[in-house]
Amino acid sequence: MFRNLRTVLGRICHAKPFHLCERRYLLREPFHPLKRCPKWVCVEDAVKIINSEHLVFVQGGAATPVELVRAMTEHGLCNNLRSVRLFHMCLEDDAPFANPEFEKHFRSISLYVGANVREAVNDGRADYIPIFLHEAPRLFYEKQLVPDIALIHVSTPDARGFCSLGVSADCTRAAVCTAKIIVAQVNEHMPRTHGDTVIHSSHFDLAVKYDCPLPSVASTQPNELEYEIGKLIAQRLIDDGATLQLGIGKIPDAVLHALSYHKDLGVHSEVLGDAMVDLVEEGVITNRNKKKHRGRMVGSMAVGTKKLYDFLHANPFVEMLALNYVNDPRVISEQPKMTAVNSCIEIDITGQVCSDSLGCKIYSGFGGQLDFAQGAAKGEDGHGKAIIAFPSVTSSGESKIQPVLKNGAGVVVTRAHAHYIVTEHGVAQLFGKTLRQRANALIQIAHPDHRECLEKAAFDRLKTNPTKYL
């Protein structure tokens, strides 16, 4: 056995340079023995390899390779490229390729729709793939998507030539494992993170040195109402020793602000943000009770400010892992007292949750909401909680709890998946409730100005007064 192993290793170490399609196997190894050096070029030369009808993967989140995106867009216009397809998660900073004047040159295809491509998607100039985020890497591993080129953003190489994908593991690992050509923007400001982010520079076909701060996404301070919701969730639904998943936004931040007196919380979350850093430094987040990755925070993407990025750099307390693991409901269900907190656009009186569209207009995407709702609700210890939280009314005063969803609204969390619904007026527990009981519970946490109207609508829809079925 050992003789055969030495023979195999000897062949690998003395092999000729590997073909690009073999990279997907070598990337799984912790060390690449061939030491093939990338070709260092200027950014304008790096994007010249992009041709018409190419399929290009663009790393997303705070790891968006902004300079490569800029140069690619100019290259497409100057050389009159046609039908270049760009696959990506939510991108930070500008997305100039989504502007109307580039419609013939580029077509954006999002796995999660950000503000910078939202108009293009709804105008028909860009596309969106509805998908559970834990399944996104499958598109690449099962060869439904085989990128001609992957544009990625990495840290500077260490003494052994290893770089890091930094703040965005998500589906980037899957994309680079299957891409024919890899182009890397190398940036000294990209934090070197632990987990599924390690990649050797020998895998880059072209590399561009471009140092710039990562996109800074500062949280907006929650208002008084949002703080009230956060306090309600923290006090009534989050136990000491719980493992948390929270998204980015005012309500998740409000929840985190209200957790200062909790003990030994853990984090297993698709997105990591600034507010989590404070709880780590206060000794509230310890990950001490986690069954998997004990003593470590787990995330797949990080979006925030320099405070967060500095915290992540060379920090073994944090592991950045791929979406097909982090968002897998089976993995999520194994965490102790798994508590998932997410928000939504609207909910109907039977518990159907719309989170990805405003009527027929796509707003965001499935994201990881149902991944974590399922995983938390199926918690193996029987103490998981799937929470949907939102203010009872919109900024214009319209009720977020509606008799029926708007025409064309997308259901992300079904009636059967909706468990805990929270507004500033209380908590509605829907699991195991009849339609009438659900309607009554939701009406009780609606804004008082809208309750009478909702009661009438519930009577019309359910043919009886729901309060009789408490």
| Active site residues per annotation | 270
CA-nearest of 59, 11, 13, 17 to 38 is 17
- Number of Cβ within a 10 Å radius of residue 288: 12
The CA distances from residue 417 to 135, 387, 429, 433, 446, in Å, are 18, 10, 12, 12, 20
| Fold of domain 224-462 | Glutaconate Coenzyme A-transferase (3.40.1080)
pLDDT value for 417: 96
How far, in whole angstroms, is CA 18 from its chain's centroid?
Answer: 33
Measured between its terminal Cα atoms, the distance across the chain in Å is: 68
- For residue 390, which of 362, 417, 358, 428 has the smallest C-alpha distance? 428
What span, in angstroms and rounded, lies between the C-alpha atoms of 193 and 176? 17
- At position 40, the amino acid (one-letter code) is W
- pLDDT attached to residue 218: 85
Q: Which two tokens stand for residue 419?
A: 């468990």
Q: How confident is the model at residue 35 (pLDDT cuts 50, 70, 90)?
A: low
The model's pLDDT over 244-291, given as tens digits with 9 standing for 90+, comes to: 999 878 999 999 999 999 999 999 999 999 999 999 999 999 999 999
Q: Above 90 in pLDDT, residue 349? A: yes
Please give the radius of gyration of the chain, using alpha carbons only, rounded to the nearest integer. Answer: 24
163-173, pLDDT tens digit by residue? 999 999 999 99
Q: Write down the mean pLDDT value for the chain.
A: 91
Specify whether the CB–CB gap between 54 and 23 falls below 8 A.
no
Q: 127: exposed, middle or buried (C-beta count within 10 Å: 0-12, 13-18, 19+)?
A: middle
- Look at residue 34 in the predicted model and tell me its pLDDT: 52
357: β partners:
362
Per-residue burial over 71-101, b if 16 or more Cβ lie within 10 Å, else e, is bbbebbbeeebeebbbbbbbbbbebbbbeee
E strands of 187-226, at which residues?
194-195, 198-200, 206-209
Q: How confident is the model at residue 37 (pLDDT cuts 50, 70, 90)?
A: confident
Q: Could you tell me where the beta strands, DSSP code E, fall in 331-418?
A: 338-342, 346-348, 353-354, 357-358, 361-362, 385-389, 401-402, 411-413
Give the strand pairing for 353-354 and 346-348. Answer: antiparallel
Provide the pLDDT for residue 8: 35
Distances (CA, A) of 435 to 324, 350, 351, 412, 430: 34, 6, 8, 18, 9
User: How much of the chain exceeds pLDDT 70, in percent?
Assistant: 91
* Tokens 């993995």 found at: 331
pLDDT reported for residue 23: 43
Q: Which residues pair with 385 in a beta bridge?
A: 339
Q: Which amino acid, 258?
A: A
Calpha distance 371→375 (Å, rounded): 6
- pLDDT (tens digit per residue) in 453-469: 999 999 999 987 766 55
Residues in CB range of 302: below 8 A, 6 or more apart: 61, 62, 167, 168, 193, 271, 272, 273, 308, 309, 312, 320
Mean pLDDT of 28-42: 66
Domains of the chain by residue range: 25-209, 224-462
What's the pLDDT score for residue 248? Answer: 78
What's the rounded Cα separation, in Å, for the pair 58 and 102? 17
Other Cβ atoms closer than 10 A to 167: 31
User: Which is more confident, 10 or 110?
Assistant: 110
Residue 131 reports pLDDT greater than 70: yes
What's the CA gap between 427 and 444, in Å, rounded?
9
Q: Please say if the pLDDT value at position 9 is more than 70.
A: no
d(CA 386, CA 368): 12
Q: Do domains 25-209 and 224-462 have the same CATH topology?
A: yes
> Would you say residue 18 has pLDDT above 70?
no
Q: Are 305 and 250 in contact (CB under 8 A)?
A: no
pLDDT above 90 (res 410): yes
Residue showing tokens 């998946």: 417
- Say whether pLDDT at 174 is over 80: yes
Residue 359 CB-density burial (10 A; 0-12 exposed, 13-18 middle, 19+ buried): middle
185-234: pLDDT as tens digits:
999 999 999 999 999 999 999 999 999 999 999 888 899 999 999 999 99
Range list of β-strands (E), 187-223: 194-195, 198-200, 206-209
Residue 5 has pLDDT above 90, yes or no: no
- DSSP element (H, E) containing 133: none
The DSSP secondary-structure symbol of 469 reads: G
The bridge status of strand 357-358 relative to strand 361-362 is: antiparallel
CATH number of 25-209: 3.40.1080.10
Cα separation, 68 vs 206, whole angstroms: 12
- Tell me the helices (H) and strands (E) count for the chain, helix number first: 16, 27
Distances in Å between the Cα of 263 and the Cα atoms of 83, 227, 237, 242, 383 are: 53, 20, 14, 9, 17
Q: Which amino acid is at 142?
A: E
Helix-, strand-, coil-residue percentages of the chain, each rounded to 5:
35, 20, 45
pLDDT of residue 454: 96
Give the model's confidence band at 470: pLDDT under 50 very low, under 70 low, under 90 confident, else very high: low
Distances in Å between the Cα of 163 and the Cα atoms of 14, 86, 155, 185, 189 are 23, 24, 5, 11, 12
